[in-house]
Structure 1
Amino acid sequence: MNLDIKGKVAIITGADSGIGLETAKRLAEGGATIILADLKEEELQKAVGEVKAFAPNVTVTSVTVDITDNESVLRFAKQVKEDFNGAHILVNCAGARGAAGDFLTLTDEDWQETIDADLLGAVRLCRAFIPQLQENGWGRVVLVASENAYQPYEEESPYNACKAGIINLSKCLSRAYSKDGLLFNCVSPAFIATPMTDAMMDDLAKEHGTSREEAIEWFLKNKRPNLAVGRRGEPGEVANVIAFLSSNLASFVNGSNYRIDGGAVESAF
């Protein structure tokens, strides 16, 4: 599939593993210049090597960025402007599960930590990079939300609220900046095999005294019984949709949210 993004500059956050890394590979395969962003330099360098091996003829680089720190995000945007004359594509895969537990036990600090990573992180990135997309006269922004925005789980109230906010933010921005040639969309994955869900399953395995694989089976049966395909999704299955939304193929898709959930969300809407 020709994404028609050759020569575009693509920013992918949360890019050292999981959905972010697989998205980088898809966009690199389409001919885009790739800038990977995440917290740890060593992990980013490994990711750069993987993307280069996947698409050896494109430029791939990385920058350490903390999306919970506005100054870090602003420095990142300035560097992209100076080195690449600005971005065309922004994909925000960075985030965290954040604080979880009984609602009455969660403090303001717990909520703020999750909001900083899962909602304000996207706000900071969009605020920093939208001017570059406007200057370039073409832009695609894809924000990663979650099934939790539609089907919230009681122990993850901060995460649920932030991911619902991401979908609303994307819709808001799609109305504000479409006139400038920018399109904004979301994807909402469910139970994808990423480091975040691996950690959740490792904690569950420890709690139950089982292996990770047994914990996954228990979780699917008892916590995600509506996941119709009966398995965890793969990062590449989400990346395929993100790549489409980042491309010229999605030229009439704006303000939308794509659930990539294996049927996990019960409602049709």
Structure 2
Amino acid sequence: MDLKIKGKTALITGGDSGLGIATAKFLVREGVNVVLSDKDNGEELKKAVKQVEKDCERGAKVVSMAADISINQEVLHLADNIEKEFGGAHIIFHSAGARGAAGDFLELSDDDWMKTIEVDLMGAVRVARAFVPHMQKLKWGRMIMVASENAFQPYVEESPYNACKAAVINFSKCLSRSYSKEGILFNCISPAYIETPMTDAMMEELAEEKDISVEEAVQWFVKNKRPHIAMERRGKPEEVAAVVAFLCSEHSSYINGSNIRIDGGAVESAFG
């Protein structure tokens, strides 16, 4: 399917791994210029650019630009650099985030909460504030934010993350009502238990705790913590990226203010 976005430019935050790389590959095959961004321009981000370059077609270009989304000035600088090099960003896939502090609610400090909020909620606010003006100028835009199943089915040990991801969905809905008449659409995706560095780290920690292999930890986690995943496995980044690529396209022109769950059935309710 031709997504009809050849020649447009996309920014992918959290672009050095997982969902960022998988989505970038979809977009560059459509002829979209992609800026991969993460908090530092280290080896992981450079490796990501090389991976994505192999998929470039139809004149697409991929570059890296560092920015820490918890620092407003760095996000503004990123916006300026993209405008100088590409004339602005038409598409934002905001996948940067962190699990943040986890544990018993009564043991989490204000600082624990604020560190999570600065990345998972205020990061989305800063990116939107910096890049909506690009889309207004270009008279076309798509912003897709990564929420989570946790927004609908919160897990007791992750209260800051749960709250931030619910807030991201509400924030995206708010923006969708503000700018849709200018051709700018906002949507969220809510993945669950996808093969990403974040769940890799969780499984490595679980494996060490239970003195089992990582694969055994994955199987234990699915059975005991995610019993509603009918496929009995983690999702693949490409399975999420395919949905994101569609939401970036011209074909998604009547999808606005929505949240799409990509969770293998992990959320128990039919209406979450």
Distance 1:22 1:151 in 2: 26
Whether 1:255 and 2:257 are equivalent positions in the alignment is yes
AA matched with 1:125: V
Q: CA deviation at 1:199?
A: 0.2
Aligned partner of 1:50 in structure 2 is 51
Distance 1:40 1:229 in 2: 36
Q: CA deviation at 1:135?
A: 0.4
Aligned partner of 2:66 in structure 1 is 64
After TM superposition, list the pairs within 5 Å mapping 1:226-241 onto structure 2. Answer: 226-241=228-243
AA matched with 2:117: I
Distance 2:27 2:100 in 1: 28
Aligned partner of 1:156 in structure 2 is 158
Note the alpha carbon deviations across 1:86-120, whole angstroms, 9 max, x for none: 11000101001000000000000000010111110
AA matched with 1:68: S
AA matched with 2:99: R
Aligned partner of 1:243 in structure 2 is 245
Normalising by the residue count of structure 2, what TM-score does the alignment of the two structures yield?
A: 0.98
AA matched with 1:44: L
Note the alpha carbon deviations across 1:32-84, whole angstroms, 9 max, x for none: 11100012321111111111101254111010110011011010011111111
Q: CA deviation at 1:3?
A: 0.8
Give the count of matched residue pairs. Answer: 269
AA matched with 1:174: S
Aligned partner of 1:194 in structure 2 is 196
Q: CA deviation at 1:121?
A: 0.4
After TM superposition, list the pairs within 5 Å mapping 1:1-269 onto structure 2. Answer: 1-41=1-41, 42-56=43-57, 57-269=59-271
Distance 2:217 2:245 in 1: 31
Which blocks of at least 5 consecutive residues in structure 2 are unaligned? none
Distance 2:67 2:213 in 1: 34
Distance 1:240 1:267 in 2: 24
Distance 1:225 1:109 in 2: 33
Matched residue of 1:64: which SS?
Answer: coil
Q: CA deviation at 1:10?
A: 0.4
Structure 1 runs, 4 residues or longer, greater than 3 Å off: none
Distance 1:51 1:206 in 2: 33
Which blocks of at least 5 consecutive residues in structure 1 are unaligned? none
Q: CA deviation at 1:229?
A: 1.7
Note the alpha carbon deviations across 1:159-194, whole angstroms, 9 max, x for none: 000000011011000000001110000000000000
Distance 2:56 2:33 in 1: 10
Distance 1:82 1:53 in 2: 25
AA matched with 1:52: E
Distance 1:128 1:150 in 2: 28
Distance 2:29 2:55 in 1: 7
